[in-house]
């Protein structure tokens, strides 16, 4: 947050919050909930009428615009405001002053917003001061999503933050909880804000996965006991910025009316079927046992009936709904995909689609998982290169298997310096990238506490993620958020080490010995923003300076919302198709942080790079919509990226099945065969 007042010409930047000690607890309990029935206490607005409900009061102090835009089958409210030049920032607020809440529950959908330095704010226990337009004299509790927490200039870090703040007159704020997370504009997210006695809880859900929140924030503070609820958006960019936010499905009540079994949340549009429970449970699941298959339960929580015929499951873009076993029960349905339908040691992008019988109420549930086993990752020719295990002492490296090493969670040392890469020193310089040998980093010295693994190097490395989330449960932000720890670390009481606080242009050299093979490459990475990491081969002497490289492809990292959400990202070529690497013997590979300087700073948490043998299957069908099967007639040559299929047997449709995106780019006929290039 930043301060927001009527009488200043600039908005002062709020420094990063510091959390010290336990939050003071209330000296006495708050007053009981107002003695009115819930039906009177509840307030809601889906904005489908196309007009603003008269119960809303607008804080009319700046040029503002309230318009209604299409959203799903109805409408949403778009709020825009310009600043009062030289006087005050752009802001717009709508508040319901007909009910004052003590304990409260609020929810709304953030449907869209401009990617700029602005805040979308839920107001609670709000005191309007001398009047509805006296925002500077108002006070209360807020939940705010800051779209671009670190600014909106060309070189600003473009990441967001979700917070709980106390607001005092003058719009001075005290941050009680914060989580670094970046939501995607144009995607809908449901934010809930709840106050019970002195405890405040915020949850943020992706409408594409209502089984569990993306984050839960809590704060404990006794300052405010009752007040109004509403919504505010404002620019954090002084008197130069504007605000533009679209919201939908507003709700305020004395208690949470959610009918779904926790931690799931019902869809904000009543009767819309949603996935309530799912296996795999985690949305970003590592090491899912393929024998467990996929299963889910979906519900509507009303009389709305789920259309079983419209219940679909897609894996890596292919429709596998015909393999689902469905058990419909009117307003609910269970589905299961047998483990035999999943391949071991694979990567999956999954999507469940649901609809009611009218076809008007629909939802989508998305999740990602892999079916790797740890034994597979440790078996040649598979190669796993830990990001933090880059070269040392001018191109020196160790042979696999590399022993685990580091500092365990009790502060003890696991193996010693030089056993594994713990404590080793890479050769670099602060003068010029070309003079570096093992790594290049923009920092000029090691940075505490991101020097836990190789304390003499400037590379940011941490055992898990520090300060990803700070709230009343972890005031100092000391909980380590991390990828799923592999067993080799668990048995030594170690947390997965991560390369963090990366910046575009920085690079790491990794020298390893490969079994000769064709490989697909994947980067195991957490992110809270879209970015990229390039992979190249060092073509000169890796023990000397002034190294030359040859590009191998790019890992196009998606936005995983939080850096503690990890996925395997495939190496792609310039056409966006999977790169196939032919590697053998000793190779020095370089990871280079790509993206825009400033904007892509500190977005990523790199765990490891995985190289697996490149396998491509060809599935065929007599009709375009399948089902596709591997009939054994195709011969695949991965080295030449060709597929040979006999012409005999009639016309068929073909689909490639691989761990990376591939497509047929050329078709020719030769010697009674169809030759396809991919």
Contact in structure between 100 and 34 (CB atoms under 8 Å): yes
- pLDDT-flagged residues of the chain (< 70): 1-40, 649, 651
C-alpha–C-alpha distance, residues 298 and 274, integer Å? 5
| 359 and 389 share one domain | no
| 234 and 354 share one domain | no
User: Does residue 518 sit within a domain?
Assistant: yes
SS (H, E, C) 631-658: CCCCEEECCCCEEEEECCCCCCEEEEEC
Bridge pairing between strands 332-337 and 325-328: antiparallel
- Residue 88 carries which DSSP code? B
| 325 and 454 share one domain | no
**Residue 4 confidence (pLDDT):** 36
- Strand 139-146: give its sheet, edge to edge: 56-58, 91-101, 227-235, 118-127, 139-146, 161-168, 172-180, 469-470
Q: Which two tokens stand for residue 169?
A: 């007159």
| 471 and 430 share one domain | yes
The residue out of 370, 396, 424 marking a domain boundary is 370
User: Does residue 495 sit within a domain?
Assistant: yes
- Residue 211 carries which DSSP code? S
| 233 and 293 share one domain | no
- Using alpha carbons only, give the angle 415, 418, 420 rounded to the nearest 5 degrees: 65
Contact in structure between 369 and 346 (CB atoms under 8 Å): no
Contact in structure between 301 and 259 (CB atoms under 8 Å): yes
Q: Which residue has the tokens 């999943």?
A: 342
- Residue 340 carries which DSSP code? G
Q: Which two tokens stand for residue 388?
A: 């933090």
CATH code for position 69: 2.60.120.560
Comparing CA positions, the residue from 175, 198, 268 lying closest to residue 30 is 198
| 311 and 222 share one domain | no
- Residue 242 carries which DSSP code? -
- Per-position DSSP letters for 283-304, written without gaps between them: SEESS--GGG-EEEEEE-SSSP
Q: Which three-class secondary structure state does DSSP give residue 423?
A: coil
User: Does residue 317 sit within a domain?
Assistant: yes
CATH code for position 305: 2.60.40.10
User: Does residue 265 sit within a domain?
Assistant: no
**Residue 1 confidence (pLDDT):** 52
User: Does residue 20 sit within a domain?
Assistant: no
Residue range(s) defining the domain that contains residue 658: 617-677
What are the counts of helices (DSSP H) followed by strands (DSSP E) for the chain? 3, 43
| 514 and 640 share one domain | no
Dump pLDDT digits (tens) for 319-348: 999 999 999 999 999 999 999 999 999 999
User: Does residue 478 sit within a domain?
Assistant: yes
Q: Which two tokens stand for residue 102?
A: 């003590």
C-alpha–C-alpha distance, residues 273 and 331, integer Å? 8
| 602 and 638 share one domain | no
The residue out of 571, 586, 612 marking a domain boundary is 612
The residue out of 370, 396, 430 marking a domain boundary is 370
Contact in structure between 376 and 345 (CB atoms under 8 Å): yes
Task: Report the number of distinct structural domains present in the chain.
Answer: 4
**Sign of the four-CA dihedral 221, 223, 226, 232:** negative
User: Does residue 260 sit within a domain?
Assistant: no
| 600 and 628 share one domain | no
- Residue 261 carries which DSSP code? P
pTM of the shown model? 0.92
CATH code for position 396: 2.60.120.260
| 357 and 498 share one domain | no
User: Does residue 67 sit within a domain?
Assistant: yes
Q: Which two tokens stand for residue 27?
A: 């000296």
C-alpha–C-alpha distance, residues 461 and 489, integer Å? 16
| 297 and 356 share one domain | yes
| 357 and 411 share one domain | no
């Amino acid at each position: 947050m930043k301060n927001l007042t009527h009488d200043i010409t600039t908005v002062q930047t709020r420094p990063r919050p510091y959390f010290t000690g336990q939050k003071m607890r209330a000296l006495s309990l708050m007053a009981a909930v107002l003695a009115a029935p819930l039906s009177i206490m509840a307030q809601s607005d889906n904005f489908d009428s196309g007009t603003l409900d008269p119960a809303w009061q607008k804080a009319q102090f700046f040029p503002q615009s309230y318009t209604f835009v299409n959203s799903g089958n109805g409408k949403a409210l778009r709020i825009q405001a310009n600043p009062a030049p030289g006087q005050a920032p752009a802001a717009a607020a709508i508040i319901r002053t007909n009910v004052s809440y003590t304990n409260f529950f609020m929810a709304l959908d953030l449907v869209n917003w401009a990617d700029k330095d602005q805040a979308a704010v839920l107001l609670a226990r709000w005191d309007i001061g001398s009047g509805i337009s006296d925002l500077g004299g108002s006070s209360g509790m807020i939940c705010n999503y800051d779209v671009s927490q670190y600014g909106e200039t060309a070189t600003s870090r473009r990441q967001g933050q979700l917070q709980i703040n106390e607001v005092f007159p003058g719009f001075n704020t005290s941050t009680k909880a914060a989580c670094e997370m970046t939501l995607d504009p144009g995607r809908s997210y449901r934010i809930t804000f709840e106050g019970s006695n002195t405890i405040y809880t915020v949850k943020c859900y992706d409408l594409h996965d209502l089984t569990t929140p993306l984050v839960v924030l809590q704060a404990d503070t006794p300052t405010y006991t009752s007040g109004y609820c509403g919504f505010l958006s404002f620019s954090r960019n002084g008197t130069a910025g504007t605000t533009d936010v679209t919201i939908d499905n507003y709700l305020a009540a004395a208690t949470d009316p959610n009918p779904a079994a926790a931690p799931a949340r019902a869809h904000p549009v009543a009767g819309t079927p949603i996935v309530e429970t799912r296996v795999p449970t985690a949305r970003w699941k590592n090491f899912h046992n393929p024998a467990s298959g996929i299963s889910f339960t979906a519900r509507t929580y009303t009389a709305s009936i789920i259309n079983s015929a419209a219940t679909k499951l897609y894996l890596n873009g292919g429709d596998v709904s015909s393999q689902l076993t469905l058990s419909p029960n009117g307003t609910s349905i269970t589905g299961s995909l047998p483990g035999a339908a999943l391949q071991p040691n694979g990567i999956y992008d999954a999507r469940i689609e649901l609809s009611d019988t009218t076809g008007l109420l629909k939802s989508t549930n998305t999740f990602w998982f892999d079916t790797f086993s740890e034994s597979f990752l440790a078996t040649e020719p598979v190669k796993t290169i830990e990001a933090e295990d880059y070269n040392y002492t001018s191109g020196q490296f160790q042979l696999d298997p590399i022993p685990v090493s580091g500092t365990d969670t009790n502060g003890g040392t696991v193996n010693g310096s030089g056993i594994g890469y713990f404590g080793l020193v890479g050769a670099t310089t602060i003068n010029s990238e070309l003079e570096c040998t093992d790594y290049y980093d923009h920092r000029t010295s090691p940075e505490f506490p991101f020097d836990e693994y190789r304390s003499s190097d400037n590379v940011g490395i941490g055992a898990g993620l520090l300060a990803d989330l700070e709230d009343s449960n972890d005031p100092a932000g000391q909980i380590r958020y991390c990828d799923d720890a592999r067993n080799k670390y668990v048995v030594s009481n170690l947390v997965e080490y991560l390369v963090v606080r990366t910046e575009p242009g920085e690079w790491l050299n990794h020298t390893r010995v490969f079994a000769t093979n064709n490989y697909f490459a994947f980067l195991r990475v957490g992110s809270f923003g879209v970015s990229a990491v390039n992979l190249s081969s060092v073509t000169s002497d890796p023990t000397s300076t002034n190294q030359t490289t040859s590009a191998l492809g790019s890992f196009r990292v998606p936005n995983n919302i939080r850096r503690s959400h990890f996925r395997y990202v495939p190496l792609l070529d310039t056409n966006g198709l999977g790169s196939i690497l032919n590697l053998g013997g000793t190779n020095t590979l370089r990871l280079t942080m790509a993206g825009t300087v400033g904007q892509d700073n500190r977005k990523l948490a790199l765990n490891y790079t995985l190289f697996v043998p490149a396998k491509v299957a060809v599935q065929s069908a007599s009709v375009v919509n399948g089902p596709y099967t591997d009939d054994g007639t195709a011969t695949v040559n991965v080295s030449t990226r060709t597929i040979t299929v006999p012409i005999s047997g009639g016309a068929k449709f073909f689909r490639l099945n691989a761990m990376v995106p591939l497509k047929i780019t050329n078709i020719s006929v030769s010697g009674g065969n169809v030759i396809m290039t991919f």
